[in-house]
Amino acid sequence: MRLTQWTDYTLRVLMYCAACQARDQPVTITEIADSHAISRSHLTKIVHQLGTQGLLETTRGRGGGMRLSRPATDINVGAVVRQTETDFAMVECFEAASNQCGLIANCRLKGLLHQATDSYLAVLDAASLADLIAPTRSLVKAPASRRATATPGIA
C-alpha cells in the first residue's frame, strides 16, 4: 500500500508541529514549505483541513501560525491515515460494483489482502504522533526570523 501525497504531507505537518511544541512561537506554513520543499498553497489546504478536524490550532496574521491542538501522544497515526486516505481497496474485487474478476468464486486473495490491510492499519493504530518524533531534541530549527524568540535548547 502506498500513501497519497496528501497523507504524506499531512503527517509531515503534524510531525513538524510536534517537534516544535516547546517553542514559544507557532509554526508557519512558510517554514514547513521551505523545510520540505512543498508548495505553500498545497500546505495551506492541508493545514485548513487539519484545523477543521481539530488536530491543529491556527492563528492568522502577524505572529500567527499553527500548533497541535492536543499533545502528540493523543494523536493516533492510524486515525490520521484513515481521515486522509480515501481508498483502501487494494484490488478490483474489493469493490463489488466494479468487480469483473472471473475467479471471485474460488479466490482467496481478497481475504488475504483484507487481512494485510487490517494488519497495516493495526500497526498505525498502535502509534501516536509522539512515537514518530525523536524524544531527545527537536528535529527542526526555528527559521532565522524567529530564532531570537525560540525556546532555548531547541536546535
- Per-residue pLDDT of 41-97, as tens digits, reads 999 999 999 999 999 999 888 878 999 999 999 999 999 999 999 887 666 666 667
- Would you place residue 150 in the very low, low, confident or very high pLDDT band (cuts 50, 70, 90)? very low
Q: Mean per-residue pLDDT for 4-16? A: 95
Q: What are the structural domains of the chain?
A: 5-148 (1.10.10.10)
Q: Residue 155: pLDDT above 50?
A: no
Q: Mean per-residue pLDDT for 131-135? A: 85
- Would you place residue 113 in the very low, low, confident or very high pLDDT band (cuts 50, 70, 90)? confident
pTM of the predicted protein model: 0.78
- Would you place residue 5 in the very low, low, confident or very high pLDDT band (cuts 50, 70, 90)? very high
Distances (CA, A) of 21 to 16, 38, 111: 9, 21, 42
Dihedral sign for Cα atoms in the order 126, 130, 134, 136: negative
Residue 8: the pLDDT is 95
- Give dist(CA 155, CA 139) in Å, integer: 7
Dihedral sign for Cα atoms in the order 23, 11, 139, 122: positive
Residue 90: the pLDDT is 67
